[in-house]
Every structure is written in structure tokens, then in C-alpha cells.
Amino acid sequence: MKRLPVILIPLVILAMALTATGRGRKPAVPSIEDAAKADYLYLEALRAKSQGNFDAAFSLLSRAKELNPTDMETGLELSNFLLIMSSEPTDTADMSRGVEMLRAYWDANPSDYYTGVKYGLMCQRRLERDEAIRVWGTLHRLYPEKVEIAFQLAEVLAQGGPAADRDRAIAIYDSIEALEGPNLTLSGNKIQLYFNENDTASILAEADRLRESSPSNVEFMVFSGKVYSMFGKREEALKFFDRACELDPSSGLAYYSKAEFYNSVNDSVGYDREVFNALKQNSLDVNTKLSILRGYIQQMYTDSLQRPRIIQLFDTLIVQHPLEHDIHDSYARYLIIARDYAAAAEQEEQTLGLDPADPEGWEMLSSLYLQIDSLDKAEDAIVRSLYYYPDNARQHVVLGSIYTQRKETAKGMEEFRKALSLADKADAELLSSIYTSIGDNMYQQQLSDSSYVYYRKALQYNPGNMLALNNCAYHMAVEGKDLDEALHMIEKVMNEEKDNPTSLDTYAWVLFKRKDYAKAREMIDRTIELTDESDMSADVLEHAGDIYFMDGEPDMAVDFWKRAMKYDPDNELLQRKVRHKTYFFK
């Protein structure tokens, strides 16, 4: 006997609720003794089912059915179990038996509405079209007032078969319309049938008939515009969209449908204008507006000239809905794409102010502040986030790194220890990140040998940790230690990040320490080429000067050192290099 999985119990209860247990019993064909036993087992099965003992109920029903195969009530109850036990709509043994019993019961009781609906849906699930038509057709004759049955019959008739079946489906939709009046669903279903027959004239006629049934209905007017647009009738389509906007100047649907039309004919000016008109309308809900705006951004975000327009759209939405979390969140994410990190941080602050229950949002906010070198604000954001999520190990790591960068190494180590205690021991990537940060902290304390131990430990957890590889290689180069290992590490990074300026600078410095000045010069040139002026640092320019000097270009070296002094005017070593026009090791 197949045991019922525990997870299916609620489904069993639901299925049982659809069947009546007080129906009259049918005369038994088997012996009086077997029929009596079957009746007793049936009642015991119902009792077991009511107590939640579904395995016992299934066993009792199975035995009752064996004793009295003609009992429809037992068959119906047993079919519920068999159908639930069959998870796939294929002809498994259990499903076939269950369907057979369900059909037998319904054939004997065609007026049983709920069993008929269940059997009809099962036939559709099993793609038994003819049987589904028989079931829904019978129910439709018995219950002509039930529109949902009429819809089911029309749906099955529309799925393949002869043209006469599709004509019947359309006639059924017409009968529903006579009861309920014209609506988009009915016309849409009829148009789909006409479309399958390539009957363009009937499609357009149906759109016209729907529109003319209620000339002031904006949705019907928009529907006509979309149908006519689908068949390339642009002038008529635009006329309908314009009329929809005239009927209701506050209809976001009308303006957005018009925008979609302009987009379909590659009219970017019209598309832009109508999207803006749609988003200004209060009739559209926030989710629809955000969906429109996201689609607009996908169309336009690669064009930097469109950014002021997109920002204007976001600002318009915020004026309309100042307290909508998702608008501020979407705005922040767009600004990140636009690389306006300060403005993105401002919007994320608004987002978290509306709903602080967002751990990823707090992490994004602290990262944004770090991106604009605002350590104090990043620290404040992390401290606030830990009030809500004190067990967020990643935030403790970032906070520890901020302290390390400020040379508050003891406070940094305290945060790293907290992170280690909170981290999931199966999260190798997070553990690798923590050990990398400890390595940075150790190096800040001038404990270089200890730092290498932690970098290597980080790489044991995650051999592809680019930050650990880069930092370890750089510090080895600065110390002039293990340069072969340093080269191996940074080359591994370069295989993955060929155009990363930070990694290129490390590569150049490792090559410099290995006295490969020509290649080091090539790498530092590439570093400077890829570094924006706003991201330039004294370290990179000083490295360039040192490399150029050792590669036989002292005049250019001095120029680089002078440029470096603009970023770090108090650097005494740089001052000596410029003053004496020569390279000093220390």
C-alpha cells in the first residue's frame, strides 16, 4: 500500500470537503455478507479520515471497494485518495483507477455539480478533450445559469477540433455577453478564435462592436487601438488612442497605451512624451507606474542624454507618492547604474527610513558611502543597521575594515572576531572575506608575517578571492618578500580582472620589485589610462615615477612625482624625490 506523504494531508482534507458523506447507499451486487462488511469498512474509513488517519482510511476504502466493487460512494472516496497520490498528470495506475472511479460516480450522478467540476478539470488536465466537452456540456445543460461552466465549455471547444466547435465556442461567448453585457474578456476570447482562423475582418469587426457598445468607455477605446495597431492600421489606432485620452485626460492607461504604440513604430519622441504623461496621472497605481518607468529605463538608460529626463520622472513620482518605499528604492538603484553614488545614498536613506526591515538595503547604503569615501557616514549606517540586525556578520566585517582603515586596529579586530562568531561555518566565501580583512588589519599593525598567514587562510577557503590575492601580493612587493609567490598571485588576479586599475597597479609594483622595469612601465601606463581623474591617487603616480626613473626616464619620473604631490603634499619622501630629482628607497 502506498503511504500518503504528510505534506499531502491538507490536500486530502480539501478534496474530501468537496464530497458529501451522507448520500444514499446503492444496492450491493455482491453477497449480503460482503456488502455489510463493505458498509462497515466504509464508515470506519470515514471515521479514520475525520481523525486525520489517512493511511488507515485509504486501506479501509480499498478493502471496502474489493468487497463491493459496485458501490459508487466508496469509489468516489477512494478516487480522491488515488488522484492526490498521483502527482503527475500521466496515466499512472493510481490516476487511471482514480479517474475511472470518479467517472463512474459522476455518470451515475450527473447533477452532482462539484464532482462534475472536479471530473471536468481532471479531463482537461489529462488533455482528454472529447470527454471534457461531454462533461462541461452536460453541466451547461443542467446549470445554464452558471457562467463559469459556460466559460469552461467554450474554452475546451476552442482548443482544436473542427471549425464547428469554434463556432459553438463563439456562440457560447455571445450568450454570456447577452447575460452580462460586453466586456474585454469575452471580446478577447472571440478575437483569439478569429485570429486562429486568420479572420482579420471578424477581428476588426469585434473590436468595432465592443467599442460601439459603449463609445465613452476608455478601456474599450484603448482595446480597439491595440487591435488596429496589431494589424498595421496606424492612423486608425492612433485615432482611438487619442480619443481615449480625450475621454479621460487623467487615464494613465490611455497615455501609456499610446506610448506603447509610439514605441512600436519607433517614434522615440512620442514614446517619451506619452510615458511622461502616463506617469503624471493619479489614476495609475504605484506598481503600474514603476513597471512603466522600469520599461522606460530599460529602453533609455544606455543614453546618458536621457538621464535628466529619467531623473525628472522619478522626481515626479516622488512628489505624487513621497512615502512609497519602492519608488525611492528603484530611484536609488537607477542612480547606482548612473554612477551617482551620493544621490543614490540619499534615496536609500529615504527607502530605509520608510522601511528599515531591509538588511540588503543597509548593506547597500554602507557600500554607497564607502564608494564616495565617506567613512563616517558608512560607519553610522552600519551602526544603525546593527540595531535592527545585530547578527549580520557581513556588516561587522565592513565596520571592522573601516576601523582598520582609520588605524583603529584593536576596534577592527573586535568586529572581525564578532563576524567570525556569527558567520555560518559553511559559508566559505564569507569566512574568506573575514580572514582577508584580518590580514589587512595585521599588516596595518606592521605584523606582515601574521598578515600573510591570514591571507593564505583566506585563500584556503576561497582560492578565487581576488582581494586576498591582490593585497597579499602587494604587501609582499612592498616588503620585497616572496616575490615569486607574489607574481603568481597577481597573475592569477590579472587572468580574471585585466582592466582593474587597482590590480594593474599591484602587478606593476610586483614587476618593479622584480626589476622587470619595461613590463612594469607597460602596466603602470595601463593603470593610469584606466583610472579616472577623480579616482587618481598619490600612490599610483608615485609608483609611475619610480618605475619611469628605473626604466631610464628621469624627467618623466619627476613629472609623475610632482603630480603625486598634488594629492599628498605633505609626503616627505615625495618631496625628497622631487627636490633631488632621483629615486629614494625610503
Q: With respect to residue 49, please indicate whether it lies within any of the assigned structural domains.
A: yes
Q: With respect to residue 418, please indicate whether it lies within any of the assigned structural domains.
A: no
Cell of 432: 574568506
Residue where a domain stops, chosen among 83, 109, 135: 109
The per-residue DSSP string of 432-478 comes to HHHHHHHHHHHHHTT-HHHHHHHHHHHHHH-TT-HHHHHHHHHHHHH
Q: With respect to residue 292, please indicate whether it lies within any of the assigned structural domains.
A: no
Burial label, 251 (beta-carbon count in 10 A; 0-12, 13-18, 19+): buried
**CA distances (Å), origin 13, targets 17, 44, 368, 586:** 6, 16, 52, 81
Residue where a domain stops, chosen among 109, 133, 159: 109
CA 68 to chain centre: 54
- Which pLDDT score is estimated for 9? 30
Q: With respect to residue 553, please indicate whether it lies within any of the assigned structural domains.
A: yes
Q: Single out the residue of 436, 448, 438 nearest to residue 414, CA to CA.
A: 438
- Which pLDDT score is estimated for 74? 74
**CA distances (Å), origin 338, targets 304, 335, 363:** 8, 5, 19
Cell of 516: 622587470
Residue where a domain stops, chosen among 109, 141, 168: 109
- Which pLDDT score is estimated for 288? 82
Task: Report which DSSP code applies to 419.
Answer: H
Rg from Cα positions in the chain: 37
Each of the 586 residues of the chain gets a pLDDT tens digit; together they read 333 333 333 333 233 333 334 444 444 457 777 777 767 777 877 887 788 877 877 777 777 777 777 777 776 777 777 777 765 555 577 778 888 888 898 899 999 999 999 999 989 988 899 999 999 999 999 999 999 999 999 999 998 888 899 999 999 999 999 889 999 999 999 999 999 889 999 999 999 999 999 999 999 999 999 999 999 999 999 999 999 988 988 888 888 888 889 888 888 888 888 888 888 777 778 888 888 888 778 777 667 777 888 888 899 889 988 999 999 999 999 999 888 999 999 999 999 999 999 999 999 999 999 999 899 999 999 999 999 999 999 999 999 999 999 999 999 999 999 999 999 999 999 999 999 999 999 999 999 999 999 999 999 999 999 999 999 999 999 999 999 999 999 999 999 999 999 999 999 999 999 999 999 999 999 999 999 888 899 999 999 999 999 999 999 999 999 999 999 999 999 999 999 999 887 6
Q: Single out the residue of 91, 82, 88 nearest to residue 62, CA to CA.
A: 82
Q: How many domains does the chain have?
A: 2
Instruction: Determine the structural domain holding residue 22 and report its residue range.
Output: 1-109
The enclosing domain of 2 has a CATH number of 1.25.40
Q: With respect to residue 275, please indicate whether it lies within any of the assigned structural domains.
A: no
**CA distances (Å), origin 52, targets 19, 47, 80, 93, 548:** 16, 9, 15, 25, 83
Q: With respect to residue 33, please indicate whether it lies within any of the assigned structural domains.
A: yes
The total number of residues shown for the chain amounts to 586
- Which pLDDT score is estimated for 84? 74
The pTM of the full predicted model, rounded to 2 decimals, is 0.62
Q: With respect to residue 408, please indicate whether it lies within any of the assigned structural domains.
A: no
Q: With respect to residue 555, please indicate whether it lies within any of the assigned structural domains.
A: yes
Q: Single out the residue of 312, 317, 269 nearest to residue 289, CA to CA.
A: 317
